[in-house]
Structure 1
Amino acid sequence: MAFRFRNTIRLAPGIRLNLGKRGISVSAGVRGASVTLGKNGLWGNVGVPGTGMSYRTRLSGSPSHQRRAARTQQRQNAQSRLESDALASFRPQLDEKGQVSLVGQSGQPLPPVQCQQVWSEYADRMASWLESEMDSINGDMDLLLNIHHDIVPPDSAIPDYEPEPFTEPAPIKPERERRPTRPVKPELKLRLWDRFIPGRQQRLLQAHEQAHTQWQFDLELWKNACLQIDKTYEQQHQQYEQQVAEWNYAWAAHQQQEEQQADAFHDQLDKDQSLIVEILTAELNELDWPRETVVDFDIDLNTRAVYLDVDLPEIEDIPARMARYGARNRRLLIKQKSGRQLREEYAQHIHGVVLRLTGVVLALIPGVERVVVSGYSQRLDEGTGHINDEYLLSVQVDKNDFAQLNFEQLEQVDPIAALERFDLLREMTKTGIFRPVEPIELLA
């Protein structure tokens, strides 16, 4: 099948666990951008190629994402704790029937008494390990079946321009240098007996006269030093006032430039197709996603439409077994899924994928009025023996119709029924068997 659209992104599977700072790279040479978790979810600052600008966009921070990330992190932490200490003396194993056995360092099964001791002393960690084993069998069914729980209302995640901070430090106000201590004027002290000792009074008078002369000299030096300190401070203060005026001017110019940049960004966001492609690509890269998925897309600003072709996962990507806790939560009950259950789960997943991608586009890109999503899969042509790409569904969604979904109660939304409310091309039986359809073409 020839690619219909110019832009391609490969969505990598995984739950984004890092709820602190992380970077988003939208193209080579763009400065790194940080993401912080706020009260309204995850927000990221991303550089706009070739402009020196960055924008702020809401990433995958829905309650469903928070629960998945927290559960995954808790499971990983519990597994690490179990491996760090408990596994020094034993190792749990799970067989195909869901039975748990414990073996020692030598690989030999532990006797019943020791097994009972392990289950008693390491109850929480064994429960976490068993839950992890159950999740390995069930796979990420919650994300597969409920991927549409993360959608947000139209226009609710339109990027905001992120102003560059004014980094020039403010001038530091000078401090007046402390004045030296004023010289103390000497005093003449003559005692009564100084007059009766020959020559003593005269010597004291001469010494006082010399001290007074030195004091006068020191006083002049002190006055000059104080004048110099005052003069220096006055010069520094004048320089400071000039620097403050220049700093205020630079700050005002920066603010004006940032306002102009913000206006330019919002103007670009409405008509610059390359910018919209970069932002949409960065946003899609941050989604919780269960299976690797290739998405080709195009943006038609003239008709205010976005087109996506989605290479859907295969039904073989749905876990074929399911597990639940058994007796006393010390074993698992493992069951093979029926063909019909697999088909129904696959149908719910691919409808959810289409709904989720539609929601991202309508929430992120202002001015888009409709989204056309077509999903295809690889199917065997029994007549030729070749694997061909066949479209399983194609839907056109208008923004106003999409806004009618109850975004506060998405767990009540059936993605299959939701897509049927729109202009949907699809041939699917009640048991989840798809027949190929022709995709919706670009609007004139």
Structure 2
Amino acid sequence: MSYREKLLKEGKSGRRSAKASKTSGQDTALPPVAERIAQVQLNTVTGEITILDANGADLGNEAMAVAKAYANEALKENLAEQVDAHNRMMEQIGSIHLGTPAPNQFPQLVPEPFDQPEPVLPEPRKLDWKAWLCPARRNAILNSNERRVSEHQRQQLQWQSERENHRRKEGQRAALYQRAQQASVPAMELVLDDHLMDIDWPQETCLSFELSADGKVLMLDVDLPEIEDFPKTELRLYQRGIGVSVKELSDTALRKLYMAHVHGMGFRLIGEGFACAPSVETVVLSGFTQVTNAATGRVEDKYLYSVKVKREAWGAIQFGNLGQVDPVEALAAFELRRDMTKTGIFRAIEPWGS
């Protein structure tokens, strides 16, 4: 249920906050601005709460007062959901490597459900007594029923065609995964593309990869977030009243989290590469950020680290105990190019070639 639906439901049922109910005899009808409320926006940097309309426009203090007065509990629930989502995302940022599969753990195909409901045959219009007295009315009802049946048949045929098309595509995907498991290079490339897009990254992630013609070397490049754009707050709901407190991470804690994230992403991608492409013997993973060159003004790639990993060495990791694995240290056990201080300040490096 959307926040607007909750607001209208609470308002129409007459439930109001204790503050609003102090005035006896006050009209409980919802103010006009309530009809325009569509969503609650929480700024995870400042903790500011804004009430918006359907177009994303700020409805101001009046809407906030209405929300507190007429839908206080719904407002708290909505804010709690946003706070929980942000804090979960912050936890996932530092532990993205925990989902890394073992190198022999080929990904399972996750079927895409066909979620279009089957068309329902409409109830035919019944002939009333007027239809028996008036042939024209009777013919109109019968013709209307025929058109409904004809339209239903058309919709049914289209639905069956789309269902068969979906089944065919799912069959092709299943065959693709089977060929990839048998080390077909084109199939492994497609499975990598399909599977990596399905991973629930805590932040938007852009990456590219190239598989050698013999299927033995996988090159991965991942566009890492800049630390300046990195989320750095922890949120907590007020125990009393409506509000969210914001705790900003210290510079040291932020850099520690950033190190864990950028290395954790690399760790996860290396593992996914070995798992999705059984013939791959070497994965070369390079992580970069995009920075503006102060001399030219051009945006350029700045590589933070580049690591070359052999399958046999990768298999020595205890994938059943990843909670005890530090991805920053783990990548250093392989052929790693990285110029990083103990406090997590990176300098540009030259990445590995193939």
| TM-score normalized with structure 2 length | 0.60
Match of 1:85 in 2: 9
Alpha-carbon contact 2:97-2:268 (below 8 Å) kept: yes
Alpha-carbon contact 1:78-1:128 (below 8 Å) kept: no
Alpha-carbon contact 1:380-1:386 (below 8 Å) kept: yes
1:19-418 to 2 correspondences below 5 Å? 82-83=6-7, 85-86=9-10, 98=47, 107=63, 109=65, 122=73, 125-135=74-84, 140-157=89-106, 269-300=181-212, 302=214, 304-328=216-240, 331-418=243-330
Q: Report SS of the residue matched to 2:257.
A: helix
Alpha-carbon contact 2:288-2:304 (below 8 Å) kept: yes
**Deviation string for 1:244-293 (max 9, x for gaps)?**
xxxxxxxxxxxxxx9xx98x986675453222111111111211123333
Match of 1:428 in 2: 340
- CA–CA separation in structure 2 for the residues paired with 1:265 and 1:399: 21
- CA–CA separation in structure 2 for the residues paired with 1:314 and 1:427: 16
**Deviation string for 1:156-204 (max 9, x for gaps)?**
12568x9xxxxxxxxxxxxxxxxxxxxxxxxxxxxxxxxxxxxxxxxxx
276 and 335 in structure 1: CA distance in 2 versus 1, 3 angstrom threshold: same
Q: Report SS of the residue matched to 1:408.
A: helix
CA displacement at 1:143 relative to structure 2: 2.7
Amino acid at match of 1:141: M
Alpha-carbon contact 2:180-2:191 (below 8 Å) kept: no
CA displacement at 1:416 relative to structure 2: 1.3
Alpha-carbon contact 2:6-2:71 (below 8 Å) kept: no
**Deviation string for 1:199-237 (max 9, x for gaps)?**
xxxxxxxxxxxxxxxxxxxxxxxxxxxxxxxxxxxxxxx
* Mean CA deviation greater in 131-140 or 400-409: 131-140
Alpha-carbon contact 2:7-2:71 (below 8 Å) kept: no
Match of 1:206 in 2: none
CA displacement at 1:369 relative to structure 2: 2.1
395 and 268 in structure 1: CA distance in 2 versus 1, 3 angstrom threshold: closer
Q: Report SS of the residue matched to 2:320.
A: coil
In structure 1, runs of 5+ residues without a counterpart are 1-76, 163-257
Amino acid at match of 1:348: A
Match of 1:239 in 2: none
Amino acid at match of 2:65: P
**Deviation string for 1:334-369 (max 9, x for gaps)?**
133333333332222111111111111111221222
Please give the root-mean-square deviation of Cα atoms over the aligned residues, in Å: 4.0
| TM-score normalized with structure 1 length | 0.49
In terms of Rg, which structure is larger?
1
- CA–CA separation in structure 1 for the residues paired with 2:11 and 2:249: 33
Q: Report SS of the residue matched to 1:416.
A: helix
- CA–CA separation in structure 2 for the residues paired with 1:108 and 1:364: 50
- CA–CA separation in structure 2 for the residues paired with 1:325 and 1:399: 46
CA displacement at 1:435 relative to structure 2: 0.4
424 and 82 in structure 1: CA distance in 2 versus 1, 3 angstrom threshold: farther
Q: Report SS of the residue matched to 2:207.
A: strand
Structure with larger RCO (C-alpha < 8 A, sep 6+): 1
Q: Report SS of the residue matched to 1:292.
A: coil
CA displacement at 1:301 relative to structure 2: 5.2
332 and 412 in structure 1: CA distance in 2 versus 1, 3 angstrom threshold: farther
Q: Report SS of the residue matched to 2:307.
A: strand
- CA–CA separation in structure 2 for the residues paired with 1:372 and 1:380: 26
In structure 2, runs of 5+ residues without a counterpart are 13-29, 52-58, 112-170
Amino acid at match of 1:86: E
CA displacement at 1:108 relative to structure 2: 7.1
Q: Report SS of the residue matched to 2:308.
A: strand
Amino acid at match of 1:154: P
Amino acid at match of 2:340: M
Amino acid at match of 1:107: A
345 and 159 in structure 1: CA distance in 2 versus 1, 3 angstrom threshold: closer
Match of 2:133 in 1: none
109 and 428 in structure 1: CA distance in 2 versus 1, 3 angstrom threshold: same
CA displacement at 1:330 relative to structure 2: 5.4
